[in-house]
Chains A and B, each alone.
Chain A
Amino acid sequence: MADTETGVFSDTTTKQRLDLPWDVILWNDPVSLISLVVRVLRKLFSYDLATAERMTMSVHNDGKAVVWSGERDKAAAYCVALHGYALSATIQPSQ
């Protein structure tokens, strides 16, 4: 449906997708230090040490972990911040 005033198209499917929570997935990589990953998670997400260590070990042992969920734009921003430390991260709609 088009808004004739603004020319903006509203797409219900896209809107629903944007409204869904999005996950930030952190992927294991074989060269980044565990201490670095813990530090970055604490710095970016303000997690306490125990939470950051638990998430880091999930990444290390399971190959990936959801480290944050929420609005798509914030998820993308967190993902970009993780990439700033060369950590492999992606976003996807929450399952």
Chain B
Amino acid sequence: MSEPFRRMPTGVAIDLPEPLRRWLAALATETAHDAVRVDNPVHRRLLGPINPTDDHDDPVKELQRQFGVEGSLGVLVETAHAEMISEDQAEEWIRALQLILAATAARMAILTDEDVAALDEKSTSTITTLQAIISLMIDALDS
């Protein structure tokens, strides 16, 4: 496999295995689903109030943030199987991958470095795979 992400004059070329693309799309869908469930730890992690002395944000701002989360994750789902995406879409991929990473950490109740160190092999693999994809996309966009 060549470089998974390559910056080109027309955007960013993606060369990821199909199972990995499907996995990312499924995680993005799951994250979008969990983010709007107020009883879910993913909601609290991704859409908690920005002022901790308040129980909730201003409803309009809360809705804007929800749209932002759904928008970034939606771009990843829509372009998960694309060979080429624009730089704007690549930036949305970074946001979406970060949202997926944070959601995954919330589901695993990861709060500290010690929590990460105590993960089982499969959970560690999930976290490090997502981190590696984010790092590769950053390298491509900043090249």
Contact = CB atoms under 8 A, between A and B. Distances in A.
Nearest to A72: B51
B105 A29 contact: yes
Interface string A58-89: 00000000000000000010011001111101
Interface in A8-32: 29-32
Contacts of B45: 86
B50 A31 contact: no
Q: Which of A76, A85, A92 has the most CB of B within 10 A?
A: A85
A85 B104 CA distance: 14
Question: Chain B: interface secondary structure?
Answer: helix
A30 B112 contact: yes
Contacts of B7: none
Nearest to B47: A83
Interface string B81-125: 000000000000011001101111100001111011000000000
Interface residues of A, number: 20
Interface in B36-89: 45-47, 50-53, 61, 64-65, 68-69, 72
Interface of B: 45-47, 50-53, 61, 64-65, 68-69, 72, 94-95, 98-99, 101-105, 110-113, 115-116, 127, 131, 134-135, 138, 142
